Structure 1
Amino acid sequence: MRRICLTLPTDRPCAPAIDGIAREAAHGARAFGVEVHVLVLDSASAAARAEHRAVVENLAPAPGVVVHHLDEQAQRVLLRDLAATAAPTDADRLLELLLPAGVSYGACTDRAFLVAETLGCASVHRRDSDSGYQEHAGETVFPIRQELAFLDAAASEAAERVSARRLRPDTRDRQVALVGGSFIGEMSVDLDGIRQRDPAAYERILTLTVPDDYPALWRATLATESFRGGGTTPFTGDRTTLTSVPPTRVDMCNIALSRAVYTRVPLPPARDTVGSDYFLLHVVHDAALPGVLHNRHIVNHHTSDRRTDEAFLAYQVRLAKYFLAVPRLHAIHTALAAAGPDLLDGDGRVRTAAVADQVRLSAADPRPGDAHRLDTLDAVLRELGGRWADAADLLAARRDLLLAEARTDMADFAFLLDAWPALIRAARARATVSAR
């Protein structure tokens, strides 16, 4: 029986999300005859963890569904074991990258990838704690229905079942590596207050999400599309497109990846950096691996903890770090896309070393021009005043650290890439032992 991992990383109270993902798991197991391992990776407060544990313990049993609730201590025990097996002399550094003291969008998903391997799963399906599901015609609109219908299918076979096809002919013999949708509802990042207060300031900030060397027309288009998700139109019926999925058209709260992808390349473990978890979506696109884009969009909402002044300031730091990462990430993906067939091995899978080489080059590049991105952000925030000016003061105080971390984050990622194959082997060996 095919096993899959439906994961929910969280660092906030999210009992309704856990209940929702359990219902989605039951639907997937029932409709497709798979074994769904629900994986809640819990980094929330002690009170929230207790609430989550109670929700998990009170879930109604469902055929084909196994629920795992791992707090950080349980995760640390497993990761320490995997790291010690994979790289005994570097185990402490690996553990720090995979389970850092702080928020890492990439690391929490990397942990899901590794746990999924220990469970013998063929794919990882990710949701977020601040999202829910649409309803249509009396039924819940679960993305897992499209994910299980297409993931790992041959592109030539999937082409017979999708609504539209926009795929290069030379990729039709490859398997579908990614299935994803987006979200409707509130913006995925905390910028809507700026958009409502000063649309011009909002546009200036959005240009920081686009590489400096993009043509003006492309810059304007990409800036307009950033963080907007699937729009506002509710689901009325399924639409699916077989394509090389553009990363801007999907969201990490609504994504499924084949193990053929994530066992080759992890996500950047950078701390406090929004968007770092989209790296793998770009790699799939760079390699021209087939994907299916669907319209079963998640409903995004902002939980109350994100509206506090403390959370606001923390988020502005995460955005600033993303803006600084954009030029480096762009250079990496440009090089990977230009590599063409050299990016893939003989089996049509991404070569880990090819990605690691480009990340290392990025880490070695001082990129002194990155400072102007902080200058632009500082000017806009100070013009807005209020708590945005407070954010400008915080970023100014951390300026040198932020610029330095733009390089060290890439060096850490290169280190993780080098160790990733051994970590995957260690996780896979653990699954083999458990299956005996």
Structure 2
Amino acid sequence: MRRICLTLPTNRECGATIAAIGDEAAYAAEHFGVEVHLLILDSCEPGVFAGHARIAHDTPRPPGVVVHHLDEAHQRDFLRRVIDRAGVTKPDLMLDLMLPSAVSYGACTNRAFLIAAALGCESVHRRDSDSRYQVLDGAPVFPVHHELRSLGRRAADAADGVSDTALDPRLAHRPVTMVGSSFVGELSVDIAEIERLDRDVYYDVVSLWAPVEWSGEQKRDLVDESFRGAGTEAFTGDHSTLTVVDPMRVDMCNISFHGVHERVPLPPATDTIGSDYFLMHLVHDAALPGVLHNRNIVNYYTGERRTDQGFAAYQTRFVKFFLSMLYFNHLYDVMARTGDALLDDRLRVRAGALAELVRDSTRLDRSGNIDRLDRLDAAYRRLGGRYAEFAEALVPRRERLLDEARQDIEDFALLIEAWEPLMDAGRTTHLTPAPGRPARDPR
């Protein structure tokens, strides 16, 4: 039986989301005859974790749904045993890249990738804790419907399961590697207040993630499109397209991967919004087929972001996102020019060559990032209030943030190089130690 991993990483209370994703797992098992491993990676404090556990384990599930609700101690134990078995260099650093103490959108998904391999799952389907499903005629609209119709199939064979095909015929023999959609509702990045306060400042800030050589018109088009997903239009009926999916049309709250996640991890950067979007660009630039559908998920914000502490933490992640784009814009440009050469003769990403490209990018002149910080400082001081206070607090951290942005890319290259042995080890490592064995596998 085909096994899939439907995963939800969380560090916040989200009992309703856990219940809803459990329903999606049941839908997948009942309608597609797959074995669904529902993987909840939970970093919450013990009281919240216990509440999540009751929902995850006490809710009746149909045959074919297996629940794994793991706290960080369980995740760390598994990772240590995998790292030991893989024999990678710098094992302590590797553990820190896979399970850092700070928030990392890429690292939590990388753990899901590795655990999915241990569970024998051929695909990973990711959702987010601050989102919910749309409803049509009283029933939730589950993205897994489109994911399981196409993911992993040869593109030519998947064509009968979609509404439209916009794929170059020369790519028809390649596998469908990614199926995804976007979101409706609030902006994916919590910056709507900036737009309400000053539209010009909003443009100045959001345009910071564009390549510096872009024209003003290109940057304005990017600003108009950025972080808005599929807008606010409600779901009324299915539509799906077999294509090479534009990364701007999908979101990590509504995504699934086949194969590519076993070749290349996500950037493990901490406290950095957007650090988990790399594979979307890689799939696109390598011309690997995908399916874009319209079962958009509803995005919303939790109350924590509205607190002073939450605001400062979120704005730091936003700043680090801009600094990361010095490197990622360069990488996306190089990957687009490399095209098919990103793949070997078995249509697998050439991970070693990609690691070299990533490491080469660390040599970029960081003057562009100094300019980003200067422009952000000026914009936030124009806004005043807590934005000006944040800008002032950022001043003594500038050098450290510049250094961290470069180090994050160096760490990404290192993780790419280690990913194949980690994956190989993960496939032969039990999620829970065998009875009578030490928690840390000495092999």
Q: Which amino acid aligns with 1:16?
A: A
Tell me, yes or no, if the aligned pair for 1:366 and 1:407 is still in contact at 8 Å. Answer: no
What is the match of residue 337 of structure 1? Answer: 336
Tell me, yes or no, if the aligned pair for 1:87 and 1:419 is still in contact at 8 Å. Answer: no
- 1:254-294 deviations in Å (ceiling 9; x for gaps): 00001x10011000000000001000111001101000001
Q: Which amino acid aligns with 1:217?
A: E
Q: Which moved more, 1:421-430 or 1:163-172?
A: 163-172
- 1:278-313 deviations in Å (ceiling 9; x for gaps): 001110011010000010000111111122110111
Q: Which amino acid aligns with 2:133?
A: Y
Are 1:386 and 2:385 an aligned pair?
yes
1:87 is displaced (CA, Å) by 2.7
Tell me, yes or no, if the aligned pair for 1:152 and 1:176 is still in contact at 8 Å. Answer: yes
In the alignment, the residues of structure 2 paired with residue 407 and residue 174 of structure 1 have an alpha-carbon distance, to the nearest angstrom, of: 34
What is the match of residue 43 of structure 2? Answer: 43
Q: Which amino acid aligns with 1:153?
A: R
- 1:104-142 deviations in Å (ceiling 9; x for gaps): 010000000000000000000000000001100221100
In the alignment, the residues of structure 2 paired with residue 10 and residue 166 of structure 1 have an alpha-carbon distance, to the nearest angstrom, of: 35
Tell me, yes or no, if the aligned pair for 1:10 and 1:128 is still in contact at 8 Å. Answer: yes
What is the match of residue 260 of structure 2? Answer: 261
Tell me, yes or no, if the aligned pair for 1:117 and 1:431 is still in contact at 8 Å. Answer: no
1:174 counterpart SS class: coil
Q: Which amino acid aligns with 1:252?
A: M
What is the match of residue 417 of structure 1? Answer: 416
What is the match of residue 186 of structure 1? Answer: 186
1:20-31 → structure 2 map (5 Å cutoff):
20-31=20-31
1:318 counterpart SS class: helix
Residues 23 and 432 (structure 1 numbering): CA distance in 2 closer, same or farther, change over 3 Å? closer
Are 1:70 and 2:79 an aligned pair?
no
Tell me, yes or no, if the aligned pair for 2:115 and 2:431 is still in contact at 8 Å. Answer: no
Residues 17 and 100 (structure 1 numbering): CA distance in 2 closer, same or farther, change over 3 Å? same
Task: Tell me how large the CA RMSD over aligned residues is.
Answer: 1.6
Q: Which amino acid aligns with 1:149?
A: R
In the alignment, the residues of structure 1 paired with residue 194 and residue 209 of structure 2 have an alpha-carbon distance, to the nearest angstrom, of: 15
Tell me, yes or no, if the aligned pair for 1:183 and 1:300 is still in contact at 8 Å. Answer: yes
1:88 is displaced (CA, Å) by 5.0
What is the match of residue 250 of structure 1? Answer: 250
1:341 is displaced (CA, Å) by 2.5
Uncovered stretches (5+) of structure 1, i.e. residues with no partner: none
What is the match of residue 17 of structure 1? Answer: 17
Q: Which moved more, 1:5-14 or 1:160-169?
A: 160-169
- 1:205-254 deviations in Å (ceiling 9; x for gaps): 11012111223332221221111011100000001011111111111000
Q: Which moved more, 1:120-129 or 1:81-90?
A: 81-90
Are 1:127 and 2:123 an aligned pair?
no
Q: Which amino acid aligns with 1:360?
A: R
What is the match of residue 104 of structure 1? Answer: 104
| Identical-residue share of aligned pairs (%) | 52
Q: TM-score, normalised by structure 1?
A: 0.97
Tell me, yes or no, if the aligned pair for 1:98 and 1:110 is still in contact at 8 Å. Answer: yes
Q: Which amino acid aligns with 2:390?
A: A
What is the match of residue 240 of structure 2? Answer: 240
Tell me, yes or no, if the aligned pair for 2:26 and 2:61 is still in contact at 8 Å. Answer: no
1:60 is displaced (CA, Å) by 1.0
- 1:343-363 deviations in Å (ceiling 9; x for gaps): 101111111112101110012
1:179-218 → structure 2 map (5 Å cutoff):
179-218=179-218
Tell me, yes or no, if the aligned pair for 1:176 and 1:291 is still in contact at 8 Å. Answer: yes
1:434 is displaced (CA, Å) by 10
Q: Which amino acid aligns with 2:139?
A: E
2:336 counterpart SS class: helix
What is the match of residue 361 of structure 1? Answer: 360
1:215-226 → structure 2 map (5 Å cutoff):
215-226=215-226
In the alignment, the residues of structure 2 paired with residue 298 and residue 433 of structure 1 have an alpha-carbon distance, to the nearest angstrom, of: 33
- 1:180-223 deviations in Å (ceiling 9; x for gaps): 01111111111011111111111111101211122333222122
Tell me, yes or no, if the aligned pair for 1:155 and 1:175 is still in contact at 8 Å. Answer: yes
In the alignment, the residues of structure 2 paired with residue 432 and residue 109 of structure 1 have an alpha-carbon distance, to the nearest angstrom, of: 16
What is the match of residue 326 of structure 2? Answer: 327
Q: Which amino acid aligns with 1:371?
A: I
1:432 is displaced (CA, Å) by 11
Q: Which moved more, 1:160-169 or 1:380-389?
A: 160-169
1:144-159 → structure 2 map (5 Å cutoff):
144-159=144-159
2:161 counterpart SS class: coil
- 1:78-115 deviations in Å (ceiling 9; x for gaps): 00111111135421110011000100010000000000
1:160 counterpart SS class: helix
Residues 433 and 425 (structure 1 numbering): CA distance in 2 closer, same or farther, change over 3 Å? farther
1:364 counterpart SS class: coil
In the alignment, the residues of structure 2 paired with residue 311 and residue 156 of structure 1 have an alpha-carbon distance, to the nearest angstrom, of: 47
- 1:19-67 deviations in Å (ceiling 9; x for gaps): 0100000001000000000000011122211211121222112221000
What is the match of residue 168 of structure 1? Answer: 168
In the alignment, the residues of structure 1 paired with residue 431 and residue 345 of structure 2 have an alpha-carbon distance, to the nearest angstrom, of: 26
Are 1:61 and 2:61 an aligned pair?
yes
What is the match of residue 286 of structure 2? Answer: 287
Residues 27 and 232 (structure 1 numbering): CA distance in 2 closer, same or farther, change over 3 Å? same
Q: Which amino acid aligns with 2:143?
A: P
In the alignment, the residues of structure 2 paired with residue 189 and residue 87 of structure 1 have an alpha-carbon distance, to the nearest angstrom, of: 38
Q: Which amino acid aligns with 1:103?
A: V
1:153 counterpart SS class: coil
1:299 counterpart SS class: strand
What is the match of residue 350 of structure 1? Answer: 349
Q: TM-score, normalised by structure 2?
A: 0.95
Q: Which amino acid aligns with 1:211?
A: P
Tell me, yes or no, if the aligned pair for 1:209 and 1:223 is still in contact at 8 Å. Answer: no
What is the match of residue 399 of structure 1? Answer: 398
What is the match of residue 115 of structure 2? Answer: 115
2:362 counterpart SS class: helix
In the alignment, the residues of structure 2 paired with residue 281 and residue 73 of structure 1 have an alpha-carbon distance, to the nearest angstrom, of: 30
Q: Which amino acid aligns with 2:275?
A: S
In the alignment, the residues of structure 2 paired with residue 339 and residue 87 of structure 1 have an alpha-carbon distance, to the nearest angstrom, of: 31
Tell me, yes or no, if the aligned pair for 1:97 and 1:107 is still in contact at 8 Å. Answer: yes
Q: Which amino acid aligns with 2:60?
A: A
In the alignment, the residues of structure 1 paired with residue 209 and residue 139 of structure 2 have an alpha-carbon distance, to the nearest angstrom, of: 37
2:38 counterpart SS class: strand
